Structure 1
């Protein structure tokens, strides 16, 4: 197969939509239901794509389908093409009236409980026709979706990046990370409370692949301590707050998260070496859509209001 063969008109846009749907739903049947098509039609179209490409895109099994090596590569490009087409349509619409569109935000723990809701409320007040989609995941999991256009920006603690990653970052404000516990936590009655003493209690920590988790483990090692063994790994702010409120668990949370919950309070054990910058991560070489640009403006305004 030559690359030019994909431009001769045989490969259709519907083929890209279909392949991505099969990958996302894990089966031809579920993809057909999602696309509101008959299963034989989806199967036939999949065979057309595979014939055009000259390779098998999925392996069939009793529980559905799994992308092959060729499938993974084609799906990645298909998603990028569809994302760019969606962006093109939104940009034309946004340039026409600035009243409709979609902005998809990948959110991390920091910024998700105060800044983001305020910015969304401000955006919706001025542009009710814009749909806002919020997706929560780790930074590493969000970056590929950011680069292929499935999300418009990532909001949270800024991770160290380089231009070679195709990303750029905008700092919005500084926010310390605090060790927090419920107000009636027994550790508050201990004299000379330090990090070593807190290891007597269970912890809830971010997932291992997050930058905050790596920084926290460095704090323990700098004190000559082994990181907590009795722990829960979680990045959901709602779950973390509930666990800390209802148990003796200790968590490292952005200061604004603790400040907005009357049942939580910081512990007098500082985390001086943990980075504090909260901001937005964007693709380096792609301009934001009109809707994303409006969202970014409101994030900047609300961040300024929070820190003023």
Structure 2
């Protein structure tokens, strides 16, 4: 196969943007709508890109399009180019105005309740015009956003070591407690029978989380069936409201109960469940705004562990 000439002026950034939209939407119609162009324009752009590369990038089917091996391979490089250009634009803008800028933070339950709000409070004292965007989601979708350049960092539980795509920095270790509201029938008791736990409604993290798997192992070790009366969520605001309004049980990072007087931890040890909280960063140089927030997170974490 003849080597494609990608620097002869035919390949445009709009081709890379179109490719990313096609991958995300899975249809030409969806990609056209995302880019605010007509379907014929999107189809023509795809044909141009395939002509430039000399290969077929997508298989067409009745339910949409599926990337070929060539499409998947080229998409990795296209996404990297777009990510680098986005970061370059933000970096230049922030260097031009060091006190402004935007940092996008992904977070899940561990870290979102105490660490991140305190760090945001600290950085806003020094840089009031810096915009902090917080996106709450499960860990795996956030990792996709991080690698794609749509999120600057993830604050929360560290579930794997660093690799070629991301770097993970531990800030502190945290235990997990079974938490209820202060008026819960089990609150304050020192003789809680594990069998009693299954008689109450629960709030469980999503099935895709490590904590969920650990809780399922806890139930299995103690001969307790997985609660059928349950809500599944990783949203701290939802968990907090449900805890305060109902006699539910939730497994939460220990800092939550410590900082909320209306919530208490049950006298049920979870010795085998705990985690490290930290920052997950992409394998690229952080922007000045991101660097500033990382510094605040590190300082706040140090204060929290010194208590």
User: With structure 1 as the length reference, what TM-score do the two structures score?
Assistant: 0.84
Q: Quote the Cα distance in structure 2 between the aligned partners of 1:277 and 1:128.
A: 30
SS at match of 2:113: coil
1:171-214, CA deviations, whole angstroms, 9 ceiling, x for partnerless residues?
22333211011222223386720333211212221122211122
CA contact (8 A) 2:56 2:68 kept: no
1:8-39, CA deviations, whole angstroms, 9 ceiling, x for partnerless residues?
33221111112223444555455445434444
Written as runs of structure 1 = structure 2, the 5 A alignment for 1:227-246 is 227-246=226-245
User: What does residue 56 of structure 2 align with?
Assistant: 55
Number of matched pairs: 304
Query: Post-superposition shift, 1:274?
Result: 1.4
Q: Check if 1:45 corresponds to 2:45.
A: yes
User: What does residue 298 of structure 1 align with?
Assistant: 296
Q: Check if 1:18 corresponds to 2:38.
A: no
Cα distance change, pair 305–191 in 1 and its aligned pair in 2 (3 A): closer
Cα distance change, pair 222–165 in 1 and its aligned pair in 2 (3 A): farther
Structure 1 residue ranges without an equivalent (≥5): none
Cα distance change, pair 60–22 in 1 and its aligned pair in 2 (3 A): same
Query: Post-superposition shift, 1:239?
Result: 1.8
Written as runs of structure 1 = structure 2, the 5 A alignment for 1:1-308 is 2-25=2-25, 27-29=27-29, 31-53=31-53, 54-57=55-58, 59=60, 61=62, 65-70=64-69, 71-161=71-161, 163-164=162-163, 166-188=165-187, 192-283=191-282, 285-307=283-305, 308=307
Q: Quote the Cα distance in structure 1 between the aligned partners of 2:77 and 2:227.
A: 41
Cα distance change, pair 29–150 in 1 and its aligned pair in 2 (3 A): same
Cα distance change, pair 101–60 in 1 and its aligned pair in 2 (3 A): farther
My pick for the range that moved more, 177-186 or 131-140, is: 131-140
Over the aligned positions, Cα root-mean-square deviation in angstroms equals 2.8
CA contact (8 A) 1:50 1:57 kept: no
CA contact (8 A) 1:56 1:68 kept: yes
Query: Post-superposition shift, 1:45?
Result: 1.8
CA contact (8 A) 2:50 2:57 kept: yes
Q: Quote the Cα distance in structure 2 between the aligned partners of 1:305 and 1:231.
A: 35
My pick for the range that moved more, 167-176 or 198-207, is: 167-176
Structure 2 residue ranges without an equivalent (≥5): none
User: With structure 2 as the length reference, what TM-score do the two structures score?
Assistant: 0.84
Q: Quote the Cα distance in structure 2 between the aligned partners of 1:304 and 1:238.
A: 25
Q: Quote the Cα distance in structure 2 between the aligned partners of 1:61 and 1:22.
A: 15
CA contact (8 A) 1:104 1:151 kept: yes
